[in-house]
Amino acid sequence: MKRVRFRDSAGNVRGGRWTVEDGEEVVTAAAGPYGRISFGDETFAPDDVDILPPCEPTKIVCVGLNYADHAAEQDKEVPDRPLLFLKPPNTVTSHNQEVTLPSGKERIDHEAELAVVIGERCKGVSADAAMDYVSGFTCLNDLSNRDDQRVEQNWVRGKAFDDAAPIGPLVATPEHVPEDATIECRVNGELRQQSSRDQFIFSVPELIEEITTYMTLEPGDVISTGTPAGVGPLADGDEVEVEIEGIGTLRNTVHIP
């Protein structure tokens, strides 16, 4: 199943299924016309509703350097355990929204990532049991202010600014997302990043085991699993797309005051 949250024209927050057209119900999460979003026996054209973040995390646990090629382009050693940092709820924004980035910075980068949405409260979970606690997967763009990230240790200014974590457009249950799912980022239609989930240094179950050793994850919390090589700067007016096989495309425009 592919689940979506949206606000209809009357201002009601709704939940529904995002399905592929097969003669009856419609929806495509890819580029071009989106079809209809189905909710019960009602359908809505996406242009008539606001797509909301597909979950409401209390925290986003991000993983740094989880692809060897990205570690190389950052001139870093591959870590011997997951490199973790946090993004708070103020960073969350949704599909098709304009993201406002900090002004006066030399470089703010896109980072396309597969995000794991937690379905049940969990702590001290083994890798073998980890997927029992996963609601599904979505797309996330780990927007990164390199100016400040380079000069601070905790990355608050570099990673935790408003709108720093566009997420969506939907949550796809695990059977929809192949173990070798492709992960891509395009900026103004130009391919910037292209890799596969099977290139992770640490797998999703390994990440859940490590993270829940130290903290409790709540339903709706997100683990962002790291980005492949090809990260690059964004400019005012850019359109950024993060597309993951089995999920769809997260699209945002960039505003830099």
What share of the chain in percent tops pLDDT 70? Answer: 89
- Name the helix (H) or strand (E) containing 209: helix 204-214
Q: What pTM was computed for the model?
A: 0.92
Stretch 205-225: mean pLDDT: 98
Percentages helix, strand, coil for the chain, rounded to the nearest 5?
15, 40, 45
Region of 219 (left: φ > 0; alpha: ψ -120 to 50; beta: rest) is beta
Query: 42 burial class (0-12, 13-18, 19+ CB within 10 angstroms)?
Result: exposed
Stretch 58-72: mean pLDDT: 92
Question: Whole-number mean pLDDT of the chain?
Answer: 90
Q: Which of 14-23, 92-101, 171-180 has the lowest mean pLDDT?
A: 14-23
pLDDT tens figures, 28-51: 333 333 456 655 556 766 667 789
Instruction: Tell me the C-alpha to C-alpha distance, in Å, between residue 254 and each of 164, 175, 188.
Output: 11, 32, 11
Give pLDDT, residue 78: 84
Alpha carbon distance 35, 12 (integer Å): 20
C-beta of residue 50 within 8 angstroms of C-beta of residue 14? no
- Amino acid (one-letter) located at 155: W
pLDDT tens figures, 144-203: 999 999 999 999 999 999 999 999 999 999 999 999 999 999 999 999 999 999 999 999
Q: Which of 2-16, 113-127, 168-182, 242-256 has the lowest mean pLDDT?
A: 2-16
Count other C-beta atoms under 10 Å from residue 1's C-beta. Answer: 12
